[in-house]
Amino acid sequence: MKKFLKIALFLLLPVATIAQDSVATITPGVFNEYGLYSIVKADGWLFKQGSDTAWARKDVNTIGWQKLSPAKLSVKYANKNGRAEGWFRLKFKIGSLFTENALGVKSIWWAAEDIYVDGRLITSNGNTGVNGKSFKEGCSFGEVTIPIPINFKPGTEHIIAVHFVDYTAPFPPLRLKSNDAPSLGMIGITREGYNLNLIKTNQTEKLVEGSWVAVCTVLCLLFWLLYFQNPLEKNLKIIALYTMFLTLVLLMGTLASRFGISYLSNYILGNGSDFFVSVAAAFTLLVVVNVFGRKVTKALKIFLAICFIGELINIFLLQNIMIMMAIIIMVLVLNIYYIISSWKNLRGPQWVIVIGLIVSLLFGSIYFCLGEMSESAFLITVTGYSLSFPLSLLVYVSMRFKEIITEVRANAARVVQLSEEKEQEAVNRQQVLQQEVNRQTAEIRLTLDNLKSTQTQLIQSEKMASLGELTAGIAHEIQNPLNFVNNFSEVSIELLDELKEEAQAGHTDDVIAIATDLTQNLEKINHHGKRADFIVKGMLQHSRTGTGEKQLTNINVLADEFLRLSYHGLRAKDKNFNAELVTHFDESLPKVNVAQQDIGRVLLNLFNNAFYAVNQKQKTAGADYKPEVAVSTSIEKNNLVIKVKDNGSGIPDVIKDKIMQPFFTTKPTGEGTGLGLSLSYDIVVKGHGGSILVNSTEGEGSEFTIQLPII
């Protein structure tokens, strides 16, 4: 679009013509610096709608033709299909001051046109269809073609006739395509050197415009890269968006003025460039607000939304450049307001933004105030206007990062200092902690020794408690053989007295009979004495601290012995207690290698708990309740299985997981230590690599299962 404006300035230069009998005179002063003269505004143009090619002749009768310049052509001349077709004619002559004979004719218009001079077709732009070919629109930005040279003799009158075909634009507002560029000249007369000047100018413009796009593209990529690396710097995002939209403005504007571009492409790119001009202007305001640390208010958001919607309406409906200019001016005014209101608070890099805006404003003022200027001045002005603010953003970002680096270094120095202080403080604390650790370690060791001593005492107490349970049972068990010994001893004494009497009497047969009875009595005394000795040895073995030495043991005998000892022990405390003892021993059970006294202690503890449970239930149950404790042994999967079952009160589910914990007991205070099952668990699991499981239903009874591996 910038090339559009530039060419417009060139072709709008004052036209010096002399109207004598409707003859336009071309003098050297009407040509611009490139050697181009736009003849469309010369006085004397005649117009007539139609397609008659005979109107190209020099001697056509122009009565009935209307006076109309090609620059005044409008949509009212289009038919209902949107097609406008007609002829323009102009009588002109070359001034006598011209020393050049070879002038040229060049067409610049969106409409298709055929240009005739003195009845001879000189050049065509697009295709009007008169030659049988289909219509093809002209190109407003035609390729750099060499104008058709014509030998015009100074002082001689000539007729230029233009046959054109145009269509309405496909987008609102309603207009002809050629109305989008009415001041581009349509028909130009060129002098010698015009082609060379145009080529040089085009090359320069492409180079400069390419540099605009390249610089903004590099800045855009740089700012986005910095933002992605530093997402906490929110200003970088706004700056990156601004440079991105500015890059789109310049890129689309450059492409829109590209030689050989179609009307549709020019419309899309040109209007896209105009739209992003407004967007970039809005982001200029956002950059200023964010960099200055001002708040993006609701009113500002509404203003930007209105600008956005207004520009869209302008592009698609109104096509009025003044609306875009109004938006830019309002944004500029707001920028000035924020600069003035933030003046006292501006620091460091923020001034760079102010300078960039001021420089951009100065170049923009020069561009719009001077209007006509040389090509080099035009490019310098537009370059300054387009790039001064983006480059100031680059300087701002670099200075901002320098500030950040300085702050980081200062913070790092403070962190190092604090780290050293903390390190020294940590060393001091470590020394204090080490002393405290040493002290607490000594206390812990003392406490551990006390705990070990207490544990030993508790274990011994548990053993003694179980021994106490055994005492009553043992007393009952040992009473029977002692009664037999006493009874048979008394009988034997009487028999000895009888033996003496019969011996004195010489009754040999009676002596032999009495001696036989004495022998039987002594055998019974010996049997029951050994029974008492076994019971005493078992009691002694249970009471002393064991070494845990394993030996082959008959589990059936061990279980039966401790079952009865436990039962009689409870009966000694409560004469009214009775229970049925049920045994299911596997007679094929081999002897197993276990610590006999430890396993005996486990069985005794389980039996005691079982009898206690059924005894407690008997006190509350009805007369139909019959206490029962059963023990069974078997072999399952190479494991010895011992099951102790009772029909007592059972174990509640809420405490089932706790019964193996040390010091946990369900018995009243003074009746249990809470170590029985805990020690039993350690003996079975840790001492023998087995397992002890419990299955209980509250109110129905419990069953403990011991599994010992057979080695």
pLDDT digits (tens, 9 = 90+) for 310-337: 878 877 777 777 877 788 888 888 888 8
Q: How confident is the model at residue 538 (pLDDT cuts 50, 70, 90)?
A: low
Specify the pLDDT at position 192.
75
Same domain? 510 vs 639 = no
Q: Which of these, 396, 388, 398, 386, lies nearest to 290 by C-alpha position?
A: 396
Residues 187 and 208 in one domain: no
Instruction: Place 464 in a pLDDT band, splitting at 50, 70 and 90.
Output: low
Residue range 480-498: average pLDDT? Answer: 73
Question: Looking at residues 544-558, what average pLDDT do you find?
Answer: 75
Could you say which of 372, 405, 438 is where a domain stops? 405
Where among 383, 405, 427 does a domain terminate?
A: 405
Query: Count of CB atoms within 10 A of residue 281's CB?
Result: 25
The pLDDT value recorded for residue 231 is 87
Cβ neighbours of residue 613 closer than 8 Å, sequence gap 6 or more: 646, 648, 649, 650, 701, 702
CB 703 within 8 A of CB 643: yes
Q: What digits encode the pLDDT tens for the residues 89-133?
A: 999 888 776 666 567 777 767 788 888 988 888 888 888 888 778
538 falls within a domain: no
3-state SS track over 377-437: HHHHHHHHHHHHHHHHHHHHHHHHHHHHHHHHHHHHHHHHHHHHHHHHHHHHHHHHHHHHH
Beta bridge partners of 49: 86
Picking from 630, 631, 615, the residue whose alpha carbon sits closest to that of residue 580 is 630
Residue 105 lies in a domain: yes
Q: Is residue 117 part of a domain?
A: yes
- Does one domain contain both 374 and 236? yes
Q: What is the mean pLDDT of residues 274-281?
A: 85
Question: Does 520 share its domain with 386?
Answer: no
Same domain, 61 and 182: yes
Is 281 a residue whose pLDDT tops 50?
yes
Task: Answer yes or no: is 415 within a domain.
Answer: no
Do 640 and 686 have their domain in common?
yes
pLDDT at position 645 is 93
**Confidence class of residue 233 from pLDDT cuts 50, 70 and 90?**
confident
Task: Examine the pLDDT at 8 and tell me if it is beyond 90.
Answer: no
What is the domain-level CATH number for residue 117? 2.60.120.260
**Range with lowest mean pLDDT among 85-89, 138-142, 350-354, 595-599:** 138-142
Digit-coded pLDDT (tens) for 505-529: 777 777 787 778 778 777 777 776 7
* pLDDT bucket at 531, cuts 50 / 70 / 90: low
Is residue 103 domain-shared with residue 180, that is, in the same domain?
yes
pLDDT tens digits, 335-381: 888 888 888 888 888 888 889 888 988 888 887 777 667 778 888 88
Asked if 311 and 215 sit in the same domain, the reply is yes
263-277, 298-312, 516-530, 623-637: the lowest-pLDDT one = 516-530
Phi and psi at 80, nearest 5°, equal -65, -20
CA distance 230 to 236: 8
Would 412 be classed as within a structural domain? Answer: no
Q: What is the model's pLDDT at position 101?
A: 58
pLDDT at 48: 94
Q: Which residue has the tokens 């002109």?
A: 92
Containing domain of residue 227, as a range? Answer: 202-405
The whole-angstrom separation of Cα 117 and Cα 602 is: 131
Domain count, the chain: 4
pLDDT value at 142 more than 50: no
- Residues 210 and 347 grouped into a single domain: yes
In this prediction, residue 141 carries a pLDDT of 55
* 419 falls within a domain: no
**Pair 44, 174 in one domain:** yes
Instruction: Tell me what the mean pLDDT of segment 540-567 comes to.
Output: 76
Is residue 361 in some structural domain?
Answer: yes
* Of the candidates 244, 202, 204, the residue with the CA atom closest to the CA atom of residue 222: 244
pTM summary value: 0.53
> pLDDT value at position 576?
81
Range with the lowest mean pLDDT among 4-8, 416-420, 587-591, 609-613?
Answer: 4-8
CB 342 within 8 A of CB 333: no
pLDDT for residue 65: 92
185 vs 384: which has the higher pLDDT: 384
User: If you average pLDDT over every residue of the chain, what do you get?
Assistant: 80
Is pLDDT of 547 > 60? Answer: no
- What's the rounded mean pLDDT across residues 230-253? 90
Q: Are residues 275 and 340 in the same domain?
A: yes
| Contact criterion met (CB below 8 Å) for 115 and 87 | no
Q: Do residues 633 and 612 both lie within one domain?
A: yes
- Determine the average pLDDT of the residues in 667-687: 73
Query: Does residue 34 carry a pLDDT above 60?
Result: yes
- CATH number of the domain that residue 565 is part of: 3.30.565.10
User: Given this model, what pLDDT does residue 664 score?
Assistant: 64
Residue 573 lies in a domain: yes
Q: Decide which of 192, 210, 235 is a domain's last residue.
A: 192
